[in-house]
Structure 1
Amino acid sequence: MDTAAEVVVAVPAGDDAGARTADLYDWQAAMATADGLRLFADALDGDGHLPADADGRIICEHHEDWTVLNAPDAELVSAKHREPSSGAWTTIKQLVDKGGLAHLFGRWLALDEKPNVRLVTCAALAPGDPRKLAKVTALLRDQATGCELDAPTVTLVNEVAMGFAKELLLYRDGLPKEWQAPAEATAKTCVVSDAHGQKVCSFLAVLFIDDRRPHREVTEHAAPSMYMQPILDKLDRRDVPASAVWEAVLQLFRVRMRAQGPVPDGALPLVLVTSSSSGGATSAFEVRRALLPRTIDVHDIAIAIRTALANPLGYMPLAVPAQLSKLSIKMARGGCADTSISRAERLRSDFKRYWRERGDGVPGSAADRYAMERTFLRVADEATSEVRTATGTWGSPFWIALASHLDRLRETGSLDGLDNELALGGICELAARCEVWFSPRFDVKGEIARLRAERTAKP
């Protein structure tokens, strides 16, 4: 294992705690999506095409919140959202502990010190030690490229490196034994050796602090223009809303953050897997296989973008109707206007009142109703066949087609005395019973429960 990418893929991760954070915060998935789009943009050629041999990919929740791989290179990324009320990162200790730099350092050591590492955060670095730390990382990278550092700069680098090493030693949790100060050690008594300082300098030379990400409250609105619009500009597709294409790619990362992505061989068992006597080959194979549901490569992103460009309406956020009924939710999913939804709810109510007044107990009325519902279903079936598309939303064309079909039935006297409006209300009643759809079938009850929970959670 010579390259950083090979080490990252072959070595099992020490924990998987990050997946719980991804469940709580969509922000992490959004920030990983931004990194994926950066890989995709960098891989495009001058004509906006993705080369077949493009190799960039992201592995979610492996070693850190995600890992960026590009050919032989690898970068571990720790994403730390910080609420505005908490303010900026004010001390090195905060960055080591709450900022996750200690965990990054531990994983970097475990991976033979080969990957780069990065902290992604929405909180700024406060003046003083935090900004000095960021400055030192840049200085050490300059030094690695052959730049000479003057005496005052070397003094600054040593001061920051030794201070950072001390915080690591006092952190203790999960780090190798040589990086754990004695239990009784304090900030005043903790001894930092030159070896500790040198190792920290090597770490800081590959550390990047990205502290300009948006807060989660504004990510939904800011991310499409910040991260997707430049891609669409490069592809010369300014005719499609960036929010729709962003949502398509974000869905990939939401799924992979939970290790639920597709696997080429599905749940088929492993058979006839060759292994060495030590089991090393089998272990490496199983690690790579386990990473498949967590991995997104630039070709996956390209497919998501192409799909959204061909079908942008399918990824546009739904306008949630005021009334959370099965009928209104289904019409909203189909892209019907609010006015159409309100009209449909009223027509459905009128139809139900009509049958109550007519009296279901009157002999023959039940049979009449069943016959009428069969007519309504035939009308809905024919209208669906006319307007349904493989992509996009077709609820509004379907609503218009229903009216046209009922007009023709009215002219032939096939509505048993009902006017067109009451007949349309009857079809709406069937839709509320999930016998007629304005879009591909989905979990209506689950969607209503989700929307109710969102409304309850809003202040």
Structure 2
Amino acid sequence: MVDASGRATSAGAPETATGPDGSPHAIFGLAPREDSGSETLGRYRYQAEVAARDCLAMLTEDGIDFVVCEWHEDFVVAFTDGAVELVSVKHREENQGTWTLVKLCKTGGLTHLFDRWCACGCAANVRLRLATNAAMNPANAGPLARMCGPDPEITDGLSAMVDTVARQMLKVRWDEPYDNVPETPKVPLADIQIPSGFAERVRQFLAVLEISCDPPQRAHITDVNIQSLLVPAVERLQLTHVDMAASYRNIVDRIERANRDESDRGQLAAYLADPSRVRYSTQMRQRIARRTITRDVLRAEMAYTSVQLATFPRGQVPLVAPGGARLKRKLSRGLVPSDEAAFAERLRSAWYATWSERRSGLTGDDTDLLNLSTDVLEVVFECKRHARSQIQDGSAYGSMMNDLIAQRLKVDGLSTPPPFLVKDQHLLGLAYQLCDECLFYFSENFDADGEAS
């Protein structure tokens, strides 16, 4: 297995693990089967790259809210409509051939995924996906895949398939401690008696399951993900000077770090599927946060080249920001020199043009702007407090305040990275825009709309 620092360690005895309600959940205390070597790390990297496919889709699809990494081979996609998708990733070497139905149930994650679904109470808002790079054996696993989902491609023989899958899961249960698979006597496969209600539960399971062979092979997944997912996302977000390879590497590294957060191995999917999850403990919410990948996380991992960013977007007629009268009056009241006031208005237009070009058009734009504005205002008010403390006898402090803002408002000094590449001048422009919106003054407050300049 791999510890929190990424070092390969030998598999030991199962550790105690708990579910969201604090009860023992043995399956999540088991160490992964792969226990050492570069082959193990390669599989873990592949699983992270499969998860990266859904993470990158967040940048272009409004319907995805966030992704939570549960374990090396598992992640959960949460959607804005409240639905969640439990995903299990299974890598198979090319020389191992196709998946058979028996192998799918035993080592291919099918029984594992069934157990996770049952742990979520088989909730109506939960769907499932088994993602693998290998093809299905056309004699048995292929027909199974075509019988899955709410609108199966084929339905003839479904009852017989349900019984076959149920018996295979019951057989797997003899050696694997799955909490939601009944224990039955060890007899020949054909003689296994399916417990009452279990076959119907398996039928429901297949109705919400997708078996996907879309993920590329390990040797090709990096290039495919960059070209088919990251590049279109960068174009959609209108980002420039993005180092694609470095950005992708950062994103996958971030997913791996979330996978390695082993402070608690309890299943998180049941929590995510619960519409009333706000009632859970702060500790549970913190565990979720450590494993969560959001749009903001992805943007923060973007790497940029050293190309100098232009203050105004190149190749366009420079935009002039609307408004500006209140900013002019406030700078005048604060005794900011007229040439500095004119430069402030130019920077406000530079911010307006840059924001107009680089905003994504997605629902997260308002939150991005709010977060960035809050960071900018925090610096502005620090500068205002310092300027006021240095001025005696009630003299105007606006000019000193303006100087301090120019000195201290830097991209590198923000508490969180901006949602896209900006330079210090853009932050000053945003500050002047916030002033024009009457969020702060360069003097004591006054009626900036009613007073002539």
Q: Which residue of 1 is the match for residue 145 of structure 2?
A: 134
> 1:245 Cα shift?
2.8
Q: Which residue of 1 is the match for residue 163 of structure 2?
A: 162
Q: Bigger shift: 285-294 or 170-179?
A: 170-179
Please give the secondary structure, in 2, of the residue aligned with 1:164: helix
Q: Which residue of 2 is the match for residue 106 of structure 1?
A: 115
Whether the 8 Å contact between 2:129 and 2:212 is mirrored in structure 1 is yes
Q: Which residue of 2 is the match for residue 57 of structure 1?
A: 66
Please give the secondary structure, in 1, of the residue aligned with 2:194: coil
Q: Aligned partners of 1:88, 1:68: CA distance in 2, in Å?
A: 27
Q: Bigger shift: 211-220 or 195-204?
A: 211-220
Whether the 8 Å contact between 2:66 and 2:79 is mirrored in structure 1 is yes
Report the CA distance shift for 1:67/1:131 in structure 2 as closer, same or farther (over 3 A). Answer: same
Aligned letter for 1:210?
S
Q: Aligned partners of 1:293, 1:142: CA distance in 2, in Å?
A: 36
> 1:251 Cα shift?
2.5
> 1:310 Cα shift?
6.1
Q: After the TM superposition, which residues 163-312 of structure 1 pair with which residues of structure 2 at under 5 Å, given as runs?
A: 163-172=164-173, 173-176=176-179, 179-183=182-186, 185-192=187-194, 195-237=197-239, 240=242, 242-259=244-261, 284-305=281-302, 308-309=303-304
Q: Which residue of 1 is the match for residue 431 of structure 2?
A: none
> 1:105 Cα shift?
0.6
Q: Which residue of 2 is the match for residue 30 of structure 1?
A: 49
Whether the 8 Å contact between 2:226 and 2:248 is mirrored in structure 1 is yes
Aligned letter for 1:171?
V
Please give the secondary structure, in 1, of the residue aligned with 2:205: helix
Report the CA distance shift for 1:230/1:180 in structure 2 as closer, same or farther (over 3 A). Answer: farther
Q: Aligned partners of 1:229, 1:208: CA distance in 2, in Å?
A: 27
Please give the secondary structure, in 2, of the residue aligned with 1:232: helix
Q: Aligned partners of 1:194, 1:206: CA distance in 2, in Å?
A: 21
Aligned letter for 2:219?
E
Whether the 8 Å contact between 2:131 and 2:211 is mirrored in structure 1 is yes
Whether the 8 Å contact between 2:73 and 2:90 is mirrored in structure 1 is no
Q: Aligned partners of 2:201, 2:298: CA distance in 1, in Å?
A: 37
Q: What is the root-mean-square deviation of aligned Cα atoms in Å?
A: 3.6
Whether the 8 Å contact between 1:240 and 1:312 is mirrored in structure 2 is no
Q: Aligned match of 2:98 in 80, 88, 96?
A: 88
Q: Aligned partners of 1:301, 1:178: CA distance in 2, in Å?
A: 38
Q: Aligned partners of 2:92, 2:72: CA distance in 1, in Å?
A: 21
5+ residue gaps, structure 1, are 1-7, 44-53, 144-148, 262-279, 314-388, 391-459
Aligned letter for 1:235?
L
Aligned letter for 2:53?
A
Aligned letter for 2:137?
A
Q: Which residue of 2 is the match for residue 427 of structure 1?
A: none
Aligned letter for 1:15?
F
Report the CA distance shift for 1:236/1:18 in structure 2 as closer, same or farther (over 3 A). Answer: farther
Whether the 8 Å contact between 1:241 and 1:312 is mirrored in structure 2 is no
Q: Aligned partners of 1:312, 1:243: CA distance in 2, in Å?
A: 16
Aligned letter for 2:140?
D
Report the CA distance shift for 1:288/1:63 in structure 2 as closer, same or farther (over 3 A). Answer: farther
1:67 paired to 2:69 = no
Q: Aligned partners of 1:98, 1:79: CA distance in 2, in Å?
A: 11
Q: Aligned partners of 1:76, 1:82: CA distance in 2, in Å?
A: 20
Higher helix share: 1
Report the CA distance shift for 1:133/1:189 in structure 2 as closer, same or farther (over 3 A). Answer: same
Q: TM-score, normalised by structure 1?
A: 0.51
Whether the 8 Å contact between 2:20 and 2:284 is mirrored in structure 1 is yes
Q: Aligned partners of 1:118, 1:55: CA distance in 2, in Å?
A: 15
1:336-383 per-position Cα deviation (integer Å, ceiling 9, x unaligned): xxxxxxxxxxxxxxxxxxxxxxxxxxxxxxxxxxxxxxxxxxxxxxxx
* Identical-residue share of aligned pairs (%): 25
> 1:259 Cα shift?
1.7
> 1:229 Cα shift?
2.0
Aligned letter for 2:221?
T
Report the CA distance shift for 1:20/1:94 in structure 2 as closer, same or farther (over 3 A). Answer: closer
Matched residue pairs, number?
267
Whether the 8 Å contact between 2:47 and 2:73 is mirrored in structure 1 is no
Please give the secondary structure, in 2, of the residue aligned with 1:199: helix
Whether the 8 Å contact between 1:58 and 1:66 is mirrored in structure 2 is yes
Whether the 8 Å contact between 2:130 and 2:212 is mirrored in structure 1 is yes
5+ residue gaps, structure 2, are 1-17, 264-276, 309-410, 413-453
Q: Aligned match of 2:128 in 117, 124, 129?
A: 117
Q: Aligned partners of 2:90, 2:307: CA distance in 1, in Å?
A: 31
The structure that has the greater radius of gyration is 1
> 1:200 Cα shift?
0.9
Report the CA distance shift for 1:251/1:175 in structure 2 as closer, same or farther (over 3 A). Answer: closer
Q: TM-score, normalised by structure 2?
A: 0.52
Q: Aligned match of 2:28 in 9, 12, 15?
A: 15
Report the CA distance shift for 1:311/1:247 in structure 2 as closer, same or farther (over 3 A). Answer: farther
> 1:82 Cα shift?
0.6
Whether the 8 Å contact between 1:19 and 1:258 is mirrored in structure 2 is no
> 1:227 Cα shift?
2.5
Q: Aligned partners of 1:312, 1:198: CA distance in 2, in Å?
A: 60
Whether the 8 Å contact between 1:122 and 1:213 is mirrored in structure 2 is yes
Whether the 8 Å contact between 1:55 and 1:297 is mirrored in structure 2 is no
Report the CA distance shift for 1:107/1:312 in structure 2 as closer, same or farther (over 3 A). Answer: farther
Q: Bigger shift: 198-207 or 24-33?
A: 24-33
Aligned letter for 2:162?
A
Report the CA distance shift for 1:206/1:63 in structure 2 as closer, same or farther (over 3 A). Answer: farther
Q: Aligned partners of 2:105, 2:139: CA distance in 1, in Å?
A: 15
Please give the secondary structure, in 2, of the residue aligned with 1:58: strand
Report the CA distance shift for 1:99/1:67 in structure 2 as closer, same or farther (over 3 A). Answer: same
